[in-house]
């Protein structure tokens, strides 16, 4: 089922997500809904909190050419090591009509659980590393705009609040997939 993606400035996006304690069919269905929602948006990653469920689960697929081939569904993911630095032009399914350059770690090592109760550790770099860091920020109640200058963030916030005051809905985006 495709779920509604919360849009900034919805305060639920600032919630810190709770760890998942039970892996069950309900969680598997949530993950499947997240995958369908991410592909429909279109995006390369989605955190459960973005659809109003403050639990530590994310889905990612950075391969636009073969959707599903490298799909990741990660439960309670944590970054255990970081290396280097990269600047990436980021957008977000929850931040309408805005992108900005964000500085992140170029390589990360991630530890997480899969839905079939296996603990995994893997390394990621480039877009996958950026996407993982972006989604983990969501789990901690942060948006990529929290990582840009205060001035740029305030200008964006004013623009969105003006649209909302005018009664204009925050339209779903079109174009290439976003993180």
Containing H/E element for 161? helix 150-165
Decide if 96 contacts 160 (C-beta within 8 A). Answer: yes
What are the CB-based long-range contacts (under 8 Å, 24+) for 100-107? 100/144, 100/145, 100/148, 100/152, 101/148, 102/130, 102/134, 102/144, 102/147, 102/148, 103/147, 104/129, 104/130, 104/133, 104/134, 105/79, 105/129, 105/133, 107/82, 107/83
Neighbouring-strand partners of residue 87: 103
3 state SS of 72: strand
Q: Which residues are known catalytic residues?
A: 135
Decide if 85 contacts 49 (C-beta within 8 A). Answer: no
Residue 38 in tokens: 């991410």
Decide if 8 contacts 95 (C-beta within 8 A). Answer: yes
């Amino acid at each position: 089922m495709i779920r509604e993606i919360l849009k900034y400035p919805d305060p639920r996006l600032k919630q810190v997500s709770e760890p998942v304690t039970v892996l069950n069919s309900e969680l598997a269905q949530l993950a499947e809904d997240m995958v369908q929602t991410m592909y429909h948006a279109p995006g390369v990653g989605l955190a459960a909190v973005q659809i109003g469920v403050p639990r530590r689960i994310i889905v990612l697929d950075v391969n636009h050419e073969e959707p599903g081939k490298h799909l990741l569904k990660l439960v309670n993911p944590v970054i255990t090591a970081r290396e280097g630095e990269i600047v990436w032009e980021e957008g977000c399914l929850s931040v309408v009509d805005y992108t900005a350059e964000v500085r992140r770690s170029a390589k990360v090592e991630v530890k997480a659980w899969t839905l079939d109760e296996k603990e995994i550790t893997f390394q990621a770099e480039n877009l996958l590393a950026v996407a993982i860091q972006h989604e983990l920020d969501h789990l901690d109640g942060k948006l990529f705009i929290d990582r840009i200058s205060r001035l740029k963030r305030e200008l964006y916030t004013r623009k969105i609040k003006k649209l909302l005051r005018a009664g204009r809905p925050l339209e779903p985006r079109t174009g290439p997939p976003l993180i």
